[in-house]
């Protein structure tokens, strides 16, 4: 038990929005995003017939480029939303217009692969296909469309955009998956993550991401989604809340930072893994403090990608690393001071707002202050005892 209990400020208020509520996009914005996603998907699906008939979309020097007879008669595009929107870690931007709501909607194109392991479709031409197909829709709705390094971006309104990464998957494997889903009486109009995980999952090394420069790279976002789901299963939904709190801290401190959301999520997992037990759902404030205590060390060292373990998530420039580590040290000090040493509800609120911004509610009445003797006598970590561990190959 800490001297101050500020859990309610983060997610326990009922009569006023908590920090978590202030981070959450409202229903109207979510509806508008879903409607925009629906229109974009429908437009691209309708335009897919041009992929079959126009030779420019196929790789040069292949039979698919040279003869329309070699191409499939129909190409059925599929979509799967990924990233923070799919994980449940999406936050309202702290600094609009510098930061935006980002919805990642992956477009999957089932197609034959060449002997060199690449899709028969040309990566660079697929960017052109998506951009060309969406131009009339964007013009009609007042949106803007343009290419990024790994996706096509549709800027919807100030503070929100949809990114469309483009993937190719083996046609034969995709047809097997679709047939299996149909036999099980599942809709094959979209990818079902649960069903893909259970059976006939597409091999990760056969999911290829198109890049604007015309190259293809192996990239399977489903692997990362499964990793997030495994952390949620292990630690509970408090894991997702902690990720959102620290993303909110980052976005308040910097308008733009090389500290990625995935790096934050990995660091939170590493910190929770050090606890002797599993995190409690009752003291998010204390858990934030405990994670903050180890962040400077993590950011100073190496944080590996949880899926592509040969990649480092914090290969920052020395200056960037110094800035990020220093900000983490300040967060650690202020969280410890607010919960362990302050003993005054108004000062607790002020310290938290200094680190997380005014989205921390100004509600000192919601902060519980214990006597220093009581806090020592009842001291207990914000964790619960770990159950007996049974050997498993999952997670």
Q: Which DSSP string corresponds to 15-35?
A: SS--HHHHHSPPHHHHHHHHH
Rounded Cα–Cα distance for residues 253 and 95 (Å) = 10
User: Can you say how many angstroms the Cα of residue 79 is from the centroid of all Cα atoms in its chain?
Assistant: 16
Specify the CATH architecture of the domain 4-18+236-384: Orthogonal Bundle (1.10)
Spell out the residues 6+ positions from residue 281 whose beta carbon is closer than 8 angstroms to its own: 236, 237, 238
The two three-digit tokens of residue 148, written as one number: 């990024």
pLDDT at residue 288 greater than cutoff 60:
yes
Q: Which helix (H) or strand (E) holds 293?
A: helix 284-300
Using the 8-state DSSP alphabet, how is residue 325 labeled? H
Least Cα distance to 105 among 149, 45, 164 occurs for 164
* Dihedrals phi, psi of 280, to nearest 5 degrees: -80, 155
The two three-digit tokens of residue 182, written as one number: 């149909």
**For residues 383 and 280, is the Cβ–Cβ distance under 8 A?**
yes
Give the pLDDT band (50/70/90) at residue 280. confident
Q: How far apart are the first and last CA of the chain?
A: 31
Give the position of tokens 């503070």.
159
Residue-wise pLDDT tens digits, 38-79:
999 999 999 999 999 999 999 999 999 999 889 999 999 999
Residue-wise pLDDT tens digits, 114-125:
988 899 999 999
**Other residues' Cβ atoms within 10 Å of the Cβ of residue 183:** 8
- Report the pLDDT averaged over residues 93-97: 93
Listed range (3-17, 80-94, 347-361, 376-390) with the worst mean pLDDT: 376-390
- Report the pLDDT averaged over residues 285-311: 96
Least Cα distance to 161 among 183, 186, 141, 191 occurs for 141
Note the pLDDT of residue 130.
98
pLDDT at residue 258 greater than cutoff 90:
yes
pLDDT at residue 190 greater than cutoff 70:
no
Q: In the chain, where are the structural domains located?
A: 4-18+236-384, 27-220
Listed range (65-69, 140-144, 373-377) with the worst mean pLDDT: 373-377
Give the pLDDT band (50/70/90) at residue 189. very low
169 bridge partner residues: 110
pTM: 0.88
Rounded Cα–Cα distance for residues 122 and 214 (Å) = 7
Q: What is the mean pLDDT of the chain?
A: 89
Rounded Cα–Cα distance for residues 20 and 22 (Å) = 5
pLDDT at residue 199 greater than cutoff 50:
no
Note the pLDDT of residue 267.
98
Handedness of CA 208, 211, 213, 218 (dihedral sign): negative
Rounded Cα–Cα distance for residues 22 and 159 (Å) = 16
Burial of 368 (0-12, 13-18, 19+ CB in 10 A): middle
pLDDT at residue 183 greater than cutoff 90:
no
Residue 349 CA: distances (Å) to CA of 171, 254, 344, 360: 56, 21, 9, 8
């Amino acid at each position: 038990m800490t001297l101050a209990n500020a859990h309610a400020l983060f997610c326990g208020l009922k009569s006023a929005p908590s920090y978590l509520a202030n981070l959450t996009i409202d229903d109207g914005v979510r509806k508008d995003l879903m409607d925009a996603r629906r229109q974009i998907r429908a437009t691209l699906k309708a335009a897919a017939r041009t992929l079959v008939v126009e030779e420019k979309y196929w790789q040069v020097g292949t039979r698919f480029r040279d003869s329309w007879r070699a191409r499939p008669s129909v190409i059925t595009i599929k979509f799967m939303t990924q990233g923070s929107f799919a994980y449940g870690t999406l936050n309202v931007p702290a600094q609009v217009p510098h930061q935006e709501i980002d919805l990642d909607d992956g477009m999957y194109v089932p197609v034959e692969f060449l002997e060199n392991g690449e899709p028969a479709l040309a990566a660079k031409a697929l960017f052109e296909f998506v951009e060309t197909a969406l131009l009339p829709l964007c013009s009609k709705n007042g949106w803007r469309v343009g290419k990024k390094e790994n996706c096509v971006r549709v800027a919807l309104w100030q503070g929100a955009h949809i990114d469309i990464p483009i993937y190719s998957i083996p046609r034969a494997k995709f047809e097997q998956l679709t047939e299996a889903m149909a036999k099980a009486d599942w809709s094959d109009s979209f990818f079902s993550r649960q069903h893909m995980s259970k059976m006939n999952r597409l091999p990760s090394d056969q999911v290829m991401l198109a890049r604007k420069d015309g190259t293809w790279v192996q990239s399977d976002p489903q692997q990362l989604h499964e990793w997030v789901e495994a952390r949620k299963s292990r630690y509970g939904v408090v894991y997702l809340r902690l990720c959102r709190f620290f993303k909110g801290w980052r976005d308040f401190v910097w308008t733009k930072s090389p500290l990625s959301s995935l790096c934050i999520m990995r660091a939170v997992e590493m910190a929770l893994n050090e606890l002797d037990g599993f995190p409690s759902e009752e003291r998010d404030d204390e858990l934030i403090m405990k994670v903050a205590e180890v962040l400077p060390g993590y950011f100073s060292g190496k944080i590996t990608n949880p899926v592509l373990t040969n990649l480092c998530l914090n290969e920052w420039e020395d200056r960037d690393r110094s800035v990020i580590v220093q900000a983490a040290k300040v967060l650690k000090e202020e969280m410890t001071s607010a919960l362990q040493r302050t003993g005054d509800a108004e000062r607790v609120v002020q310290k938290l707002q200094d680190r997380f911004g005014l989205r921390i509610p100004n509600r000192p009445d919601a902060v519980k202050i214990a006597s220093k003797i009581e806090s020592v006598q009842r001291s207990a970590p914000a964790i619960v005892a770990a159950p007996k561990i049974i050997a498993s190959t999952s997670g």
